[in-house]
Every structure is written in C-alpha cells, then in structure tokens.
A and B are shown apart, each in its own frame.
Chain A
Amino acid sequence: MRDLLVVENLRQIFGGRNQTFAVDDVSFRIPAEPTIVSLVGESGSGKSTIARIILGLLQPTAGRVLYDGADIAMSGRKWNRKFRGEVQAVFQDPYSVYNPVYKAERVLKLVIRKFGLAKSKAEAQAMMEEALRAVDLRPEEVLDRHPHQLSGGQRQRLMLARVYLMRPRLIVADEPVSMIDAGMRASFLNILQDFRDSHGISTLFITHDLSTAMYLGGEIIVLYQGRIMEQGATQTVMNAPLHPYAQLLISSIPTPDPRRRWDEDLSAAPLAEIGYGASAGRERCLFADRCPQVMDQCWGARPRLQAPKIDAVDSAQRDVACYLYE
C-alpha cells in the first residue's frame, strides 16, 4: 500500500545573510496503516515548521511532501479539496482559533456546510451531536455557549469534534495539549488513540513534552536543530535512547514519581544555547558541542541517519544519526 505521507529531504532556510536552517534535510514517512507519529524536540528544533510545510502553509526551500502519492505543492481545485478534507490541523492555542462573537456550534456548522456533509438540518444536528459524544463532550454543555464560556480542554476537544466530522485520514496536531490542564490531557490523548483504533485516523503529533509522546506510543522522531537525531518505535526509543541528545532529552523529563528523581546534577553543565548555526559549520554533528561522548569525527562530517550497528534485538526498529553506532 502507498504510504499516507512521505516527507523527502525537506529543507527550510529562513533569512538572507544570517541564514537560519529551521529544517535541514528531513525525511520520514507515515505508513498507510493508522499510526501515531510523534515529532519531538526543543523549541527551535524545526518541528512546527515541518507541520506548517505539511499543511501547505509554507513553501519549503527544498524537498517535497507527498500525500497519498501526490506532491502537495500540486495545485488544482479537486486535489486541493481532497487534501483539505483528508488532512486536518489542530493547533496549540485553544483560545485564538475561535471567533469570540459566534457560538461554539459555528465551528461545526461551518464544516458541515462548506463540505456539504449533511442533507438536512436534522441530519446536521445529529452529526454534531455524534461528533461531540465521540470527544466526550455533552452537546447541551457546549453548542449554545460562546468560546469564552468553555474551558481550554473543552475548546480543544471541540476542535477534535470538528476534525471528527470530516473523518480525515491524517491529523496534524501542533502542541495540542500544552495549554490544557493535566487532568484533561489524558482524555485528549485517549481520543486520538480511539480515532486511530476505531476510525483509522493517523496523527502526526508535534510536542516538546516527551511524556505525552510516551503515552501515545506509535513512532517517535527526535529532532535537534532541524535534523533528525533518532527515530523508531516510541517505546524502544524512550526506554533505551541511543543518541546522546535523545538520552539527555529523555533523562530530563520530570518523572512524576518522587522516588525516581534525577540522579545527576546538570545545573553546572554547559548551558543549552540554541544556536541556529550559520551555513558554515553545519557539516558536522550539530550536537557535538554539547555531547559528553564527542569524538574527532563528529566535527568532520554530518552523521547519516541509519540503523545502529549494535547487537540488540531492537536495532532494526530504529535509525540513529551518530558516529557511536556506525
């Protein structure tokens, strides 16, 4: 079967003289089978830029994105309509996506009208109610309200109800839970899992919060300064990261268990300065200046992303861009 989404050698360079490599030769794919792929990284790692390119909101400097085998840069009304229907976005801020003067039901009604989903008013009403139940919202609690009367969690789930109406094949969710309360987070993530399991909807989940990626499972891609450092099955990577950057990132998660506190004091370690390196000096491992296991060759050329050469059962399930495993 054709892959649902293929990202090929994507590159996004901003600025003129002081070039910023937001995305630097990134390739990955989301298979046809329903999957959740998490794209994780610190701020400045390029994860949101990748999301914007995939959604067609930004033209990449180089590389291409294939959706269902076709380049998304391809134009045409018919294709556009298919793409806009099948790929849905959920953004970070559950406050700014609503027009405050309209009632919450409008976000659902608009979709039904624009995509001609219902034939009658009654059918539209029934569809809205079903969609709301799918995201654990009670229709009477939200439909008649204005956005400011809803909590962040309710608003974000309402966006999922809107997505559900469209029955897309792919959801691109950019930090969807970072502004909602911990208690609501789990239920939002559960809905994404239900969408995958019961409705065959895949999700590209973009986050800086590794614990949510861990919970979602599926696949994970760890980005650093616009490059993929490690990718593979989430459980494999999270339990035993190979790349020193992935190790640092994963060991820094504040585990919600006071008996498992950070053992090593990092406070005096060299500060993590986000240097969006200039074009010169990028032909190396970008993590070399912070890496505790740095070697001479790390400064010489860019390490390739490939299966690690180690004797481990899981080595086939992931790729690492690090000379330690070549």
Chain B
Amino acid sequence: MPALLEIRGLSAGLQGRRSVTQVVSNVDLDVRSGEILGVVGESGCGKSTLATAIMRLLVPPQVLQSGSMTLRLNKGSSYDLVKLSESELRELRWRHLSYIPQGSMNSLNPVLRVERQMTDTLIQHGLSDKEARSRAIAALELVNLEPKILYSYPHELSGGMRQRVIIAAAVSMRPALIVADELTTALDVVTQRQILQELIGIRDELGATIILITHDMGVVAQIADRVAVMYAGKIAELGTVNGIFETPLHPYSQGLIGSIPRESGQRVEGLLGEAPSPWNYPTGCRFHPRCPKVFAHCRAQTPALQVQASDRWAACHLYDAEVAADA
C-alpha cells in the first residue's frame, strides 16, 4: 500500500542560545492511506512535538532541524511538507491535512456561536456562506450532532459536545490526513467510547487517514490499526496493533504493555525509573538506563529502526544478530 505520508529523518528541537536541544530525533515513519495509526509513549517522549512538526506548526523556540515529509494525495500531487512556504501550507491545512491539538475543546471562542467558528475557516478556503453552512451541517452529522448546535455558544455544550464540534470543524473540508492529539483524554469513558467510534466512522466515510497521539494503551488497542511506540524522541517499535500487544519486541514496549493495570489480584510492576528529558538523553540506546535487558553495546551504539518481521520494526540491539552474538 502506498504511504500517504512518508516521513524520513525528521528531527525537531528547541533552539537555545548556542545550540539546539533535539526533542524528536531522526524519525522515519510511513503513514499508510486509510489507516488509524496510534502514536504512544509516556509524557515528554516527543509525541506532540512530532504531531506539530507534521503540521509544520512548530513555534519558536521549537525548530524543525532536518528531514522530509512527503504527502501524496490521490490526485497524483505530492508535496514535501518541510519545503512548503507558509502560504502554501495555509492552502493545504484543513483542506488536506487537519490537526486537533490537545485540549482544543477548550479553545472555542466563548463569545461566538458555533456556526461562525465552523464556517469562518471554510469561507477563508473559498466557499460561499451557503456552501460553508451546508458543509458544517454535514460535518456535524458525522459526529452525531444536530444542525441546531450551530446556534449554540460553547458554554451551552458539554465537554463531549465541544470535542465533537472541534472534530466536525477539523473534518469539514474532508481532509486526507487528520492528526489528533489526546483526543479523548479529558472525557468520561462513555463519551470517549462514542467519540472514538465516531472517529472510526469518519475514517470509513471520508476515507481519511488518522494519526492518533495518545498515552492510553486502551484507546490504541480499541481503535488503531498500527501502533508506533515512541521513547525519548525516537520510534522504538512500529507494527500492527495485534502484533505489538501480543509480542512486543522492544523492552520498552514490553514494559509499557506489561505495566497496564488489568485484573485485580494480578500485581504488575510499573516501568522503573523516569523518562529522560531532551536535555539529558542518554548515549547509545536512549532506553538503556531503564532497560532490564541492557548490555554493553547498548550504552555506546544507537540502534536503528529495522525490520524484524513482516510489518514490524524495532530499534533494539537484542534483535541485531551480529551485535547480540558479540554480547
């Protein structure tokens, strides 16, 4: 299957007075057309920086250091998002790629009705008032909201409804790629379930591709097709959701999945230690200080993300035949 978005060697960081502190390092990732890709990891692992880098929405002191991001749309047009100018990006955003930032349900303007907030962008993209309105209504329908919501003010809506309005606005131009950051984190479980199921509906209906950034392994298990596990700014493991949950290869993925509280009486130990901050990423494999399977090589050499099985990539020396033999 062709990749809708092909990310190669993407690095982003924080500009300091003298140097750049790298937050996201050398990420290679193919996002396949029509999939829901879950990006998981602990807080501070670079998930959100990756999302904003994809959207080219990094703001100083954040900087995009290197890499390419090729977006291939079905009409045969392709763009390297890294090279586009601000005005070219403006054309692409909402129309072809849209972004739902973390906590965005609280970013609706309290003094404007939902209608204005939904149609403004559409009108900016060249639609007439009437077209914009019917697009907005169609988008609301995707998230099971009635058209009358257009006349509401944000404070009249519950958290779940506000999140739905945000999703509706994001999909109103029928984008090819949707990047959603912690979409359901602040919501109750029943609402979370409804919204996630609506998201699947949106993917099916619009044929959209969705990158879902979350720290919740349960959410990923329920709706993702594939999972990318991030640790300290790098992708530790990538594979199908079944594969990752059943046979996680990277010791970090193993720890992450093993530390999920499940049944009572079955005690699980948390992941030991703390995730490093970008100012002191360890040398070699960045997970080595916390890794239960660490060996000498891990401290010196950075493992590359390599194919381990069909549809599975992991960045770990344990699966590096030559290195493992030395150890």
Residues of A participating in the B interface, judged by any CB pair closer than 8 Å: 42-43, 151-154, 181-190, 193, 208-212, 214-217, 234-235, 248-249, 252-259, 261-262, 265-269, 271-274
With A181-B43, A254-B222, A256-B218 known as contacts, the answer to whether A215 contacts B262 (CB < 8 A) is yes
6 smallest beta-carbon distances between A and B, as pairs: A254-B218, A183-B271, A215-B261, A187-B270, A217-B264, A42-B188
Assembled-state Cα–Cα distance A255/B268 (Å): 16
Task: Give the residues in chain B near A249, CB-CB below 8 Å.
Answer: 189-190
- B192 engages A254 (CB within 8 Å): yes
Chain B minimum-CB-distance residue to A181 = B42
- A254 engages B262 (CB within 8 Å): no
Assembled-state Cα–Cα distance A314/B177 (Å): 50
- B189 engages A208 (CB within 8 Å): yes
Chain A minimum-CB-distance residue to B262 = A215
Given A182-B215, A258-B224, 4 additional A-B pairs, CB 8 A: A182-B259, A186-B268, A256-B217, A256-B260
Assembled-state Cα–Cα distance A239/B274 (Å): 34
Q: Would you call B159 an interface residue if the criterion is a C-beta within 8 Å of the partner chain's C-beta atoms?
A: yes
B 67-96 to A, binary, CB cutoff 8 A, 1 in contact else 0: 000000000000000000000000000000
> Total interface residues on B, using CB and 8 Å?
51
Interface positions of B from 172 to 208, Cβ below 8 Å from A? 188-198, 200-201
Query: Can you list 9 A-B contacts (CB < 8 A)?
Result: A182-B216, A182-B256, A187-B270, A214-B263, A254-B196, A254-B222, A256-B221, A266-B197, A267-B200
- B259 engages A185 (CB within 8 Å): yes
User: Shortest CB–CB separation between residue B286 and chain A, in angstroms?
Assistant: 15
- B193 engages A252 (CB within 8 Å): yes
Task: Give the residues in chain B near A185, CB-CB below 8 Å.
Answer: 259, 261, 270
Interchain CB contact (< 8 A) of A215 among B195, B200, B263: B263
Assembled-state Cα–Cα distance A234/B275 (Å): 33
Q: How many A-B residue pairs have CB under 8 A?
A: 141
Task: Give the residues in chain B near A265, CB-CB below 8 Å.
Answer: 197
User: Shortest CB–CB separation between residue B167 and chain A, in angstroms?
Assistant: 12
Assembled-state Cα–Cα distance A189/B260 (Å): 11
- Pick from A153, A184, A193, A248 the residue with the most CB of B within 10 Å: A184
Task: Give the residues in chain B near A248, CB-CB below 8 Å.
Answer: 190
Interchain CB contact (< 8 A) of A214 among B144, B255, B261, B267: B261
B 249-288 to A, binary, CB cutoff 8 A, 1 in contact else 0: 0000001110111111101111100110000000000000
Assembled-state Cα–Cα distance A249/B195 (Å): 15
Interface positions of B from 217 to 231, Cβ below 8 Å from A? 217-224
Chain A minimum-CB-distance residue to B197 = A267
Interchain CB contact (< 8 A) of A256 among B161, B194, B257: B257
Q: Would you call B242 an interface residue if the criterion is a C-beta within 8 Å of the partner chain's C-beta atoms?
A: yes
With A42-B190, A248-B190, A252-B190 known as contacts, the answer to whether A271 contacts B160 (CB < 8 A) is yes
Q: Would you call B245 an interface residue if the criterion is a C-beta within 8 Å of the partner chain's C-beta atoms?
A: yes
B 153-169 to A, binary, CB cutoff 8 A, 1 in contact else 0: 00000111100000000
